[in-house]
Structure 1
Amino acid sequence: MDMQPGSGTRGFASVGRKVMIATLLATTALLVEGARSGSGARAQAGVQTTFNIPAGPLSRALAAFGRQSGTQVSYEAAIANGKTSPGFQGTATREQVIAQLLQGSGLVYSFSDATNVLITRPRPVSATTASDGSLLLDTINVEGQGINDWDAPPSYAGGQVATGARLGILGNVSIMDAPFSVTSYTSKLIQEQQAVTVADVVANDPSVRVFTNGISSSAGAGEVFFIRGFSVTNQSILIDGYGGISPDRLIPVETMERVEVLKGPNALLTGYTQYGSLGGSINVVPKRATDEPITRLTGSYISDGQLGTQIDWGRRFGPNKEWGVRVNGIFTDGDTSVDGQSARLGTGTLALDYRGADLRASLDAGYISQKTYAPTGAAGFGFVSDIAIPRAPDASKQIYQSWEYSGTNTAYALGKFEYDINSAWTVYGGIGGSTYRQSMLSTDILVVDPAGNATATAYYSPINGNSTSAQAGIRGEFATGPIGHKINLNTSYLYQSLNQESNYYGFYAFDTNIYNAPTVARPSTFGFSDDPPRYWNINAPAVTLTDTLSILDERVLFTAGVRYQQIKVDVFNPDGSISQAYDEQAVTPAFGLVLKPFDRMSLYANYIQGLQQGPIAYQGTVNAGEVFPPMMTEQVEAGIKYDFGAFTATASIFQITKPSSIISTNAAGESVFSVNGEQRNRGVEVNVFGELSRGLRLLGGVAYTQGTLTQTADRLYDGNAAVGVPNWQTNIGIEWDPEPVAGLTLWGRMLATSSQYVNQANTQQIPSWIRFDLGTQYKTHAFGNPLALRFAVENVFDKSYWAAVNDGWVSTGLPRTFKFSAVMDF
């Protein structure tokens, strides 16, 4: 059980590199051969194909046509509003079918090639004459085919974000139709920025900050983020809209098509989450097989010695390409940019899907194995309450001991389906599950003076967990006079069990220094069990009903909904008896309003609540392990969105309130964890994305948040700034394709965060920080195949800084890191 640095698990690193190189060469040959034999010319527009497209809303008919024919259908979303289609059943050419679908709509079509069709209104040609005598026609701005509830929404101009995102029970919603602030980051951005985990993706979002990174940290909850000043853990991330089954600790985003960030509480939309999504939620959408075959091989290097490879293979089969399969494999191993630290990550995912005329179904499965040696502590750094916060240590210097480690193995699967009863009503459902085994031998460091002297407390923590998540529902569309309705009735159930050993915390302690850490002998864990006892069971059933009402050709949208949620938690003693139990119910309503006074403008407002399991008293407190009742937040928000055609700007104001927790000292000098008072976050956010001009893209924004404590015990801290909530956060990224060099892209990004308080008394504070990242991409061909070469530097100036605060514990930023990758499509 004791894992020494020189043991077989560590030796796997050198063997793994050799196996990886050999596998890379062998697999390349196999995949190239598979690509040659499996790919073929796509059907031309004149080839006859069998279609089954029911009558109904025009947008749904066009979406079905796109799926069944493998055609990209582009049109302005507004021109399909309120229009119906007679549908089509039978065998015909694409042109015959599209003509039939548009009957009575007053719209026309034109094929730009065999796989792309543009739908427009017929109109007189308005033109002016340019100086060279040519005619300048009116600009036509188009969107991808109508957003549906099954496929990931198409990309927006520039390709970095999507035109829509999944809003939980509301399904896929256009950004302009959403009464919330949401951003959906695409696989194009993930690839081009060489993102490894979700933490790398949300570095583009001004409303999000990262507390712990799953690759470098031993955090038991894995990656931890702050959205609008409130924590969201990796275990609260949704997979394709399903909560509770996320892989433990981290999600390799190279296997994902989208990373969607919804800002604000979301109990109605996504339901109960165990570890926190009171300030927002994150949903990841797995990759699916595309109409075009994919055979992609990636080789990568991350400083100071991590080598990696990825294989991405996808195909569609059947007369209408109904069946799809997508396989991804990832392996990285080697030293990180932190001295003495190394990490290994292995991932395999399989995505199967079927897309018929009335039935769509999918199965996603994955396995993740991750291990880090000399990781940063789970809670980072704590400080004695009466000392000034010392300067941050050198980010690249080893502070933690070489014998420390953190690792996890996770398997997950999710099966989903939806079936069209008719053109207006659809039933849907799904079930998923995950299981993981986590093990840590790590330390938390408490700094006791400004010179960086500290006490390191070691803990050994084996954790096993299992989860099951299921949903079933029906949604439909109908009208009552001039009012349109989109109804969704959903039932869901979440079961989670956790096995955890809490007796191994603090079994060993030693003196250290954050600027010059001594080498300390590894403590013995002889006699510690790898099979921890049951710690808790959670049962969380729910029923949700929503209705989105629309009038004036969907220029006014009003969403109302309510969720009934039960949370039943049993906490066990080591002997299996129940030590704590609660069975709570909550009714969480939500309202959202969207007004479109102009074609490109949306005004929105919402009221929504958040719900999560109550906090657990931290290890090291006198009431460690105590589970508190569920916590709720409330949000009111209003905003404006304007789409300039290829560039969009949004602005919002919000207020979120939630109960707050604190660690205090009792009369006996013991640390006590309690829920005490309320935290109120008020803020303003401005976001931009898209193409400013041809070849010039902008992504990011500014967030101002004022976190304030209210209703604290004896009003002691009322009016003080909330712990870990910076007033200002700025993320600005720019991409430029210089015209003189075809295929070249240059990009840069700035992340800036203002100072943050460490304690509720506001006597301790970490300073503001700024980080710069730079990168480049060059697309070319090699051996007749597309090749993309990418290079990036994160934290260009190698700044060492305190990055974020979580309940009084502080994490550090990562040192300067170089990334290089080569991607070839076969």
Structure 2
Amino acid sequence: MNRTTHSPVQAFRLAPLAAAAFALASLSVHAYAADATSDSATTDSAKSSVLPAVSVKAARAALPGDLAPAYAGGQVASGASIGVLGKQKMLDVPFSVTSYTSKLIQDQQAQTVADVVANDPAVRTALGYGNFSETYIIRGFQVYSDDVGLDGFYGLTPRQMVDTGAIERVDIFKGASAFVNGAAPGGSGVGGTINVQTKVADDKPVTRVTVEGSASGELGTHVDVGRRFGDNDQFGIRVNQTVVGGSTAVQNQDSHSQQTAISLDYRGDKLRLYADFLYQKNNITGGRPGVFVTGDDMPSTPSASYNYAQPWTYSKQEDTVGMLRGEYDIAPNWTAYAGIGSRHTTELGQYETPTYDAGSTTAYRMNTLFKENAISAQTGVRGKFNLGPVSNQVNAGWQIERIAEYGAYNWSYGLPWSTSLYNTATVAIPGTTYGAGDFSDPGLTSTTLMRSFVVSDTLGFFHDRLLFTVGARHQNIVENGYEYGSETQDSAYNDSATTPILGLVYKLQPNLSIYANRAESLVEGGTAPSGTANVGQVLAPFRAKQYEAGVKYDANHYGAAFAIYQIKQQVAYTNSVTNIYAADGIQRHRGAEFSMYGEPLKGLRVIGGVSYIDAKLMDTGDASENGNRPIGVPAWTFNANLEYDVPQLPGLTLMGRAIWTSSQYLDTANTQKIPSWTRFDVGARYKTQILKHDTSFNVMVTNLANRSYWSSALGGYLTQAEPRTAWFSVTTDF
């Protein structure tokens, strides 16, 4: 996993690629786009023009099943799936949540979850340590890619990145989340979490084909087929197949990905069942790595598309996921639910780690094999009842995740070679100085077992105008480590904690609410390392305590939210005087966020906002660092995404986006800093009909100015921004 607390050996694990193929049968039934005109309007338009335009409706978009409706434009939803609380309206919960839809994914040609969350002012993205995984930054804290939830389950999401072909919603929960989601198995998620919801069959049949490509040479196809059948359409099937590959906008870097997803469901009067299969394969050759820096001299960025990776570097990743879920209405307003899922991951990689020091750069090589088996299960009950004038929404649930990791590695540490970030010479693959484990049969390196039980009650007063949520989750974390090769246990962790929740919502008007919460996040505590006076001592789980208040507004066609918060996260360090490793430090984030989404003016849509974080290190044991800013946490982030429907040409929409991030420090001493950066994106789409089939032509250009900059310093290494990338696509509904 992408944990900065891991050793370099563990941090560089990745995985081999296995071949798989899937034949997709297409069904010849008409499908209708969500924003298409009525049949009669389509017929009349077809008579008057060869390519009649499709009008755009400024109403909330209808989406599959029981998903919350979207604001005008269909790109941001008015509700989300919020952990143990289930599906909720944003106005009714004392948390800050944003949910992006599959329409946004299609409109912006988003390839991975990172492309989706780029719309959010409170979220930024960086490379994972030692590989090409995506790491998300919410309220200044990391969320590892393998700590992203999948339909409410931890441990099942493809490990390094999540492709978007099978995604219906991307829900971003901002703030401490141990109560609603439990502790993430990877040990991240202090400032928030991300959950992706998979596509299921809609009430309307879907047969949608997309052909896409980039200006750099990538080509791809996406086929999406969905049907409901049975006497009452109680059975559903949704199949998504995506294949994309070719040369990226970074020189000499190739990327190939494949995703196959099958969703089966049953919708009865009381019983609802879901079965999901997901297969994802990614292969990156010559991937541009992150850059470490020693000393105070910061490197200037190479040109935007320049690649300083060796051509022999690569990363291969393969994930296979299966899930079974069910809900049963045991009585009016009472529902029991249960689910189980498993994931198998294989990763193989040959990596280069460059380090810049006072004008010169050296690098070393690491080859890793990593395998992981995960299982996740949950069960619970939700119910509603009244006690006199007070309504009650109660929840009780239990969940478990078990993850077993296997690995082998070898590297050239101690034999660095000289290289350059600006004029890179190709070198032969360096030899091995040290290695462990068997690449033909990697042994067990760690196991993680997480179990929790949660209860809550949301009490409604004054006809649910005032909602008060109280609850708690008890979490047990067990982790064992084993030596590479020998599988001899060399570390153990076993501890528990209870995290409470207090939340309040008051509706000033039916569409205007204020809220407040006191919540916590929970991550595994550290273990005293060798050389300390208390070597081997296990620390209690680290708690991040949050206080948050805010206001939300829902005008049906657009919405807005404002929040202020404080998060205090424990930090462990070894005291230089006592030589005792303990959780004595604090990382404190105080912030304010504003976001807006929807269509405030007819034909003009907006997604954007601004975030401010006052972040400090406190009680660190080093007086020179107390009061300093943490690594990789910008003070300001700003997003403005505008869409405009051109009235002179119905069906044509123009899009522009600006993303700004203030400066960030690379070290806790605050002597190394990367400057602020701004990125401009543009796009356009034209919706019409060709041979009576709804068709959309899309173009999306990110980093329009082709600016070169370090986009993140999180983790203590530099991530360079992607160069200008232009994507084109044609989508047709049959």
Normalised by the length of structure 1, the TM-score is: 0.79
1:561 aligned partner: 471
Q: Report SS of the residue matched to 1:447.
A: strand
1:138 aligned partner: none
> Per-residue deviation at 1:642?
1.6
2:514 aligned residue (588, 595, 603): 603
Q: Distance in 1 between matches of 2:194 and 2:106?
A: 19
Q: Report SS of the residue matched to 1:479.
A: strand
1:351 aligned partner: 263
Counterpart of 1:532, as a letter, is P
Greater Cα shift, 308-317 or 672-681: 672-681
- 1:759-811: CA deviations, max 9, x gaps? 11111100000000000001112232111110111000000001111231111
Greater Cα shift, 526-535 or 754-763: 526-535
Counterpart of 1:322, as a letter, is Q
Q: Report SS of the residue matched to 1:320.
A: coil
Q: Distance in 2 between matches of 1:251 and 1:303?
A: 23
Q: Distance in 1 between matches of 2:450 and 2:248?
A: 40
> Per-residue deviation at 1:490?
0.2
> Per-residue deviation at 1:675?
6.4
Q: Report SS of the residue matched to 2:305.
A: coil
1:83 aligned partner: none
- Does 2:730 match 1:822? yes
Q: Report SS of the residue matched to 2:413.
A: strand
| Contact 1:458 1:508 survives alignment (8 Å) | no
1:548 aligned partner: 458
| Contact 1:430 1:472 survives alignment (8 Å) | yes
| Runs (5+) with no aligned partner, structure 1 | 1-8, 42-70, 73-111, 115-140
- Does 2:429 match 1:522? yes
| Contact 2:576 2:621 survives alignment (8 Å) | no
2:442 aligned residue (522, 527, 532): 532
Q: Distance in 2 between matches of 1:162 and 1:315?
A: 23
Counterpart of 2:506, as a letter, is L
Q: Distance in 2 between matches of 1:617 and 1:407?
A: 34
In terms of fraction of residues, the more helix-rich structure is: 1
Q: Distance in 2 between matches of 1:490 and 1:708?
A: 36
2:655 aligned residue (741, 744, 747): 747
Identify if the C-alpha distance between structure 1 residues 624 and 824 changes in structure 2 by more than 3 Å, giving closer, same or farther.
farther
Normalised by the length of structure 2, the TM-score is: 0.89
Counterpart of 2:272, as a letter, is R
Q: Distance in 1 between matches of 2:368 and 2:577?
A: 28
> Per-residue deviation at 1:446?
1.0
1:160 aligned partner: 75
Counterpart of 1:656, as a letter, is I
Q: Report SS of the residue matched to 1:192.
A: helix
Q: Distance in 1 between matches of 2:130 and 2:227?
A: 38
Identify if the C-alpha distance between structure 1 residues 626 and 500 changes in structure 2 by more than 3 Å, giving closer, same or farther.
farther
Q: Report SS of the residue matched to 1:776.
A: strand
Counterpart of 1:412, as a letter, is V
- Does 2:316 match 1:323? no
> Per-residue deviation at 1:599?
2.0
Q: Distance in 1 between matches of 2:263 and 2:370?
A: 28
Report matched runs for 1:66-145 at 5 Å: none
Report matched runs for 1:257-276 at 5 Å: 257-275=168-186, 276=188
Q: Report SS of the residue matched to 1:596.
A: strand
> Per-residue deviation at 1:631?
2.5
2:389 aligned partner: 482
1:685 aligned residue (593, 600, 603): 593
1:382 aligned partner: 292
Q: Distance in 1 between matches of 2:557 and 2:93?
A: 19
| Runs (5+) with no aligned partner, structure 2 | 1-15, 41-57
Q: Distance in 1 between matches of 2:451 and 2:469?
A: 23
- Does 2:635 match 1:642? no
Report matched runs for 1:360-371 at 5 Å: 360-371=272-283
2:43 aligned partner: none
> Per-residue deviation at 1:539?
1.2
Q: Could you say which structure has the greater relative contact order, defined with CA pairs below 8 angstroms and 6 or more residues apart?
A: 2
Q: Report SS of the residue matched to 2:165.
A: helix
Identify if the C-alpha distance between structure 1 residues 142 and 404 changes in structure 2 by more than 3 Å, giving closer, same or farther.
closer
> Per-residue deviation at 1:509?
2.3
| Contact 1:218 1:375 survives alignment (8 Å) | no
Identify if the C-alpha distance between structure 1 residues 340 and 616 changes in structure 2 by more than 3 Å, giving closer, same or farther.
farther
> Per-residue deviation at 1:525?
6.6
Q: Report SS of the residue matched to 2:84.
A: helix
> Per-residue deviation at 1:245?
1.2
1:736 aligned partner: 644
Q: Report SS of the residue matched to 2:68.
A: coil
| Contact 1:218 1:406 survives alignment (8 Å) | no
Report matched runs for 1:407-418 at 5 Å: 407-418=316-327
> Alignment identity in percent?
37
2:620 aligned residue (708, 712, 721): 712
> Per-residue deviation at 1:618?
12
Identify if the C-alpha distance between structure 1 residues 185 and 308 changes in structure 2 by more than 3 Å, giving closer, same or farther.
same
> Per-residue deviation at 1:586?
0.6
Q: What count of residue pairs does the alignment treat as equivalent?
A: 691
Identify if the C-alpha distance between structure 1 residues 565 and 429 changes in structure 2 by more than 3 Å, giving closer, same or farther.
same
- Does 2:200 match 1:288? yes
- Does 2:352 match 1:440? no
- 1:263-301: CA deviations, max 9, x gaps? 011001001212211110000000011111111111111
> Per-residue deviation at 1:673?
10
Greater Cα shift, 311-320 or 804-813: 804-813
> Per-residue deviation at 1:695?
1.1
1:587 aligned partner: 498
Q: Report SS of the residue matched to 2:509.
A: coil
Q: Distance in 2 between matches of 1:573 and 1:372?
A: 29
Identify if the C-alpha distance between structure 1 residues 615 and 456 changes in structure 2 by more than 3 Å, giving closer, same or farther.
farther
User: Which has the larger Rg?
Assistant: 1
Q: Distance in 2 between matches of 1:807 and 1:510?
A: 23
> Per-residue deviation at 1:508?
4.8
